[in-house]
Amino acid sequence: MRASTPTYLYHGSAVVTTSLNADFAPVCAYESKAVASEKGFIEALNRKYPQKGFDISADEIIIVLDIKSPPITMAALRNVIYYVYTIRYKYDDKWQQIPSDDADAPKLWGTPKTIHSIMRAELMKASDYLKGKKYTISHPRYPTIRHGYADANISTTG
């Protein structure tokens, strides 16, 4: 008996496209739209502002920009856009669930095939993603951006 398969999968990306190309790496998608949105946000931010690392929990985001990254402002951060794709699960696409040691981890699926079964490409704004979250963005050479903390909007030298 085959394991349960989802009806839809979600993929977050910095680029708009009509198909998800698996030329260089497998296409990965999540059962959770929220997780796909998170991944799309991080990818889009990384394209404009290269990162050294990041950590995301339920209500807090910590992003450490690379020394080569340009400085970022609150306005620029809020204007980052990305896309979340809704994909119809098709057996012919050869999706395989990627196992995780963490039982609470969102279910991730991968396929070596290029995906054309995109149902919807939704334009997302970082300002919506960041709403209600605490976040810190630090840079080795520029002021740190903090939002949503008791000392919100205080900039410190990185």
Average pLDDT of 19-23? Answer: 90
Give percent of the chain with pLDDT exceeding 90. Answer: 63
Q: Is residue 3 part of a domain?
A: no
> What is the structure's pLDDT at 132?
85
| 112 in Cβ contact with 94 (< 8 Å) | yes
> What is the structure's pLDDT at 151?
55
The residue with greater pLDDT, 85 or 102, is 85
Q: Is residue 94 part of a domain?
A: yes
Q: Is residue 140 part of a domain?
A: yes
- pLDDT at position 154 over 70: no
- Domain that includes residue 22, residue range: 8-157
Distance CA 114, CA 62 (A): 33
20 CB-contact burial (10 Å; exposed 0-12 / middle 13-18 / buried 19+): buried
Q: Is residue 71 part of a domain?
A: yes
Rounded to whole angstroms, what are the CA distances from 88 to 10, 24, 85, 121, 142?
A: 9, 22, 10, 12, 43
Look at the block and give the residue holding tokens 């394209």.
47
> What is the structure's pLDDT at 32?
95
Q: Is residue 117 part of a domain?
A: yes
Q: Where are the alpha helices (DSSP H) in 97-155?
A: 126-130
Between CA 76 and CA 91, with CA 123 as vertex, the angle to 5 degrees is: 135
Domain count, the chain: 1
Tens digit of each residue's pLDDT (9 = 90 or more) over 2-15: 568 999 999 999 99
Q: Is residue 2 part of a domain?
A: no
Mean pLDDT for the chain overall:
88
Tens digit of each residue's pLDDT (9 = 90 or more) over 34-93: 999 999 999 999 999 999 998 888 778 999 999 999 988 888 888 999 999 999 999 999
> What is the structure's pLDDT at 101?
81
DSSP bridge partners of 98: 108
Give percent of the chain with pLDDT exceeding 70. Answer: 92
> What is the structure's pLDDT at 3?
60
- pLDDT at position 155 over 60: no
> What is the structure's pLDDT at 157?
43
Q: Is residue 1 part of a domain?
A: no
- pLDDT at position 148 over 80: yes
